[in-house]
Amino acid sequence: MSVQTSSLRYSLGTRRDNHGTASRYRAMPSGPYDSATSSSSTTTTAPAAVPRPTLKKNRFPDLTGMDFQHPLDKQNTNMLKSLPGLQFIAKSMIMSAGAEEILYLENISTSIQVGPNQLSTVYSLLVDACETLGMDCPDLYVRQNPVPNAYTLALSGKRPFIVLHTSLLDLLDDAELQAVIAHELGHLKCDHAVWLTAANVLALGTVSLLPIFTATVEDQVMRWLRAAELSCDRAALLVTQNPKVVVSSFMKLAGGSSRLANELNVDAFLEQSRSYEKATSSPMGWYLRNAQNRALSHPLPVLRAREIDAWSHSGEFRSLIKSSVIV
């Protein structure tokens, strides 16, 4: 039994090696996150703020996951449901006896549980995000880790919880941190837990124990995982209601620095994403782009930035905003 039965991570993603297991994706020898932390003892500059919405906020009390689920998420979810036996295996793992107790003890003993009297600023971000999405609050923990990351653990019929690494709190401002929390809530809102279990089976290197996980099935699961992240990015936008906040979080995870945060430029990063799209528009570029993404558990940061920027101008997003309640 794995204690990571449905770990839903907010990160740049992982890359599978030649044996089918997952390894942390490294864009550079030092890793994609290393520039997000500073080893210098020099006083750091506070993260640069991007334009924020007004105090009044749109709430979505009747929102369902289907209301904002990305088309590729829907398409790939239906594809996974059609694979014989896969859903049964994933659900069986989520309902494993004792898993809840192991996960609870692991977090209560090694992390700080956030609440009204503990990291109250972070707790208020969680409560506000849950109220915006119209959902109950999961538990939230903060764990000491120099790698900026967040993940959600969910068990069938049990109370889910989110874990934030301390480096996220240092790297992001409050609005960006709420975008990360909302992204994790998106996994819960879209009921991703079952299929994340299948993805974790691959990540934990247990593929050889389950003959159902052929190379084709493995590719389909990873394709779904990348699509699911796009849905969760939409949840982040629904909560922050400012696409630049969400894009800024992608930018900082890709190569942000607390010390030089005031020099980061969201518009320049969006222009970079457009340059990538143009560079991969040729037949060869399209092939290389697919090859580059195929090994990842998350879409590339520049692609996520383009997706969320485009959706923020879509009729679908405007329709959701019109149907919301302003508080």
- The catalytic site residues sit at 184
CA–CA gap between residue 24 and residue 8 (Å, rounded)? 15
Q: What are the b/e assignments for 78-109, b being 16+ CB within 10 Å?
A: eebeebeebbebbeebbebeebbeebbebbee
Chain centre to alpha carbon of residue 34: 19
Cα 120 to Cα 127: distance, rounded to the nearest angstrom: 10
Residue 236 near residue 180 (C-beta atoms within 8 A): yes
List of residues 6+ apart from 314 with CB closer than 8 A: none
Phi, psi of 321 (to 5 degrees): -65, -40
Please check whether residue 47 is in contact with residue 258, taking contact to mean a CB–CB distance below 8 angstroms.
yes
- CA angle (11 as vertex; 9, 14 as ends), nearest 5: 85
